[in-house]
Amino acid sequence: MSLTMILLTIFLPPVAVALRQGIGWQFLLNVVLTIIGWLPGVIHALWVNTRSGETLV
């Protein structure tokens, strides 16, 4: 993961997920988790962005 993606994951989790997966189920889930609390959104964004085998959209 690049430094830019790490910073986006920490400060704007939904944006980081959208850049990695596009606007879809993972993005909507991350928005909900971020609204519930910042930390769940960051954890989910880290999980999405560090999974191997996924391609950038």
On the question of pLDDT at 55 being above 60, the answer is no
pLDDT for the residue numbered 52: 60
pLDDT for the residue numbered 2: 85
17-42: average pLDDT: 94
pLDDT for the residue numbered 19: 92
Residues 10-40 as b/e (b if ≥16 CB within 10 A, e otherwise) read: eebbbebbbbbbeeeebbebbeebbeeeeeb
13-22: average pLDDT: 93
On the question of pLDDT at 57 being above 80, the answer is no
On the question of pLDDT at 53 being above 60, the answer is no
